[in-house]
Structure 1
Amino acid sequence: MVQVRPSQQMRDLGVVQYGAPILAAPARPFALPDEREAADTVVGQLLDAMERIRRAHDFSGKGLGLAAPQIGIGRAAAVVQPPTADPIVLLNPRITAAAEEIDEKFEGCLSFFDVRALVPRPLRITVESVTPEGSTETAVYERGEARLITHEIDHLNGLLLLNRMRPGVRPIPVDEYRKTGEATGRAWSYE
C-alpha cells in the first residue's frame, strides 16, 4: 500500500502548499456591503473545502480553520470551526487587542501538513471584523479559539506559523509530534 504524505493529501484536497506566493501576500479586503456577493462566494468555497478536508482528517479535538489564500483566493476571508461551537466566519478581520499572557502549543497548518510546530499565541484576543452587510463587529476569543483565529488572521496578513515560532525552534515531523503526547485529535489543554 502506498502511503500519501499529509501535505500531498492536502494538496489533493485543494489546499495551496508552502512556497506558493499567495501564502506570503496580504489578502485584499472586501468592500462591504458592495462586494457581498463575492464575499458570500468565497465563504461558500471555504466551507466546501473544509468539508472535504474534514472527511479526510479528524479535527474534532482542536478544530479547523481555513483562510481564503489557502484555497488560492487572495481575499480577506477565513472560516474557523472550533471543536464544540458553530463556524466563525471572518471577513476583513483584524486583532485589535491581545493579552500579554501567552502559551506555547503545537500547531499544524494545512499548507505544510507534514510537520507540527510549537507556536506562542496570546490566550485572549479581541477581533474586529466586518459583516456581509458592511457593519463592524467585535468579539473576544480565548484559549483554543484565540489560537485558531490568530492562526487564520496571520494567513490573511501573509504570515505563517513559521513566522511566529521562537528563534531556534524548528518544526518537527508529524511522526515525531505524535510521540509528544499532544497527538492529532486531542484538544489543547489549558491550566
Structure 2
Amino acid sequence: MDVRPIQQMRNLGVVQHGAGILAEPARAFTLPAERDEAERITDELIAAMERIGQVHPFAKGMGIAAPQIGIGRSAAVVQPPGDAPSIILLNPRITDRSDDVDEQYEGCLSFFDVRGLVPRPLKITVETTALTGESVTTVYAYGLARLIHHEIDHLNGQLYTAHMRPGVAPIPVGEYRQTGRAWAYE
C-alpha cells in the first residue's frame, strides 16, 4: 500500500496541520542563558531534517521549525539547495522586506499533501540571536528568502496558507507534480 505524503511525514515525527502547537507563536530563547537548550533543539531539528531528507529529496532546499517537531521554541533550521551549510535561526524576526514580490508554489512538511501558490518578498532582512546573545542581521534574497520567511511564519504560528491570495486554494501534490517547476527568478 502506498503511504500518503502526510502520513509519511507524521511517521517521521513531523507535527501535522491542525495541531495546536502550529498555531501558537513559539517562545523566544533567553541567550546566552538558554544556550544548552537552544543547541539541543537545533540538534533535534537537524536530526529530523536528516531523517526526512532520506525519504524525500528537496531540490529547492528545505527547512523545519521547532513547533513542527512538537517544541514550542523559536528555533528553525534551513538547508539551502546544494551543498551550502545549514542556516540556524534562533529568535528570528523579519525587520525589513522588499516591495518586490513574486509568487511561487510552496510545500510544507506539516501540510504535505498539497502545494500552495504564495506571494513573498524577493528580499528580507532578518534579525536573529546568536548563542552568545548578540543580535545578528542578515539579508536573504529569492529562494532563500522564501525558505527563511516560511520557517519564520511557523515560529509566529502561521502556515503558508495565511499568505495565499483570497480565492487561491492549495492544489493536491499529485497535480502539482505534473506542473511543478523550480523556483525561477530573473
Q: How many residues align?
A: 185
Structure 1 residue 188 and structure 2 residue 183: aligned? yes
d(CA) in 1 for partners of 2:180 and 2:79? 23
d(CA) in 2 for partners of 1:138 and 1:114? 34
Partner-residue secondary structure (3-state), 1:126: strand
Partner-residue secondary structure (3-state), 1:34: coil
d(CA) in 1 for partners of 2:138 and 2:17? 30
For 1:42-191, list aligned pairs within 5 A. Answer: 42-59=41-58, 61-84=59-82, 85-182=84-181, 187-191=182-186
Structure-1 residue corresponding to 2:8: 9
What letter is aligned with 2:49? M
- TM-score normalised by length of structure 2: 0.98
d(CA) in 2 for partners of 1:188 and 1:54? 19
Query: What displacement does 1:121 show?
Result: 0.4
Partner-residue secondary structure (3-state), 1:111: coil
d(CA) in 2 for partners of 1:188 and 1:58? 15
Query: What displacement does 1:179 show?
Result: 1.6
Partner-residue secondary structure (3-state), 2:154: helix
What letter is aligned with 2:65? A
Structure 1 residue 40 and structure 2 residue 35: aligned? no
After superposition, give the CA deviation of every residue in 1:71-107 in whole Å (9 maximum; x if it has no partner): 0000000000000321000000000000000000000
Query: What displacement does 1:115 show?
Result: 0.3
Structure 1 residue 19 and structure 2 residue 14: aligned? no
Query: What displacement does 1:189 show?
Result: 1.0
What letter is aligned with 1:136? S
d(CA) in 2 for partners of 1:68 and 1:148? 15
d(CA) in 1 for partners of 2:173 and 2:35? 39
d(CA) in 2 for partners of 1:158 and 1:111? 12
User: Structure 1: 5+ residue runs without aligned partners?
Assistant: none
What letter is aligned with 1:188? W
d(CA) in 2 for partners of 1:188 and 1:82? 13
Runs (4 or more) in structure 1 with deviation over 2 Å come to: none
Q: Percent identity?
A: 65
d(CA) in 1 for partners of 2:35 and 2:43? 12
Partner-residue secondary structure (3-state), 2:110: helix
Alpha-carbon RMSD across the aligned residues, in angstroms, is 0.6
Query: What displacement does 1:181 show?
Result: 3.8
Query: What displacement does 1:8 show?
Result: 0.2
Partner-residue secondary structure (3-state), 1:168: coil
d(CA) in 2 for partners of 1:30 and 1:181? 37
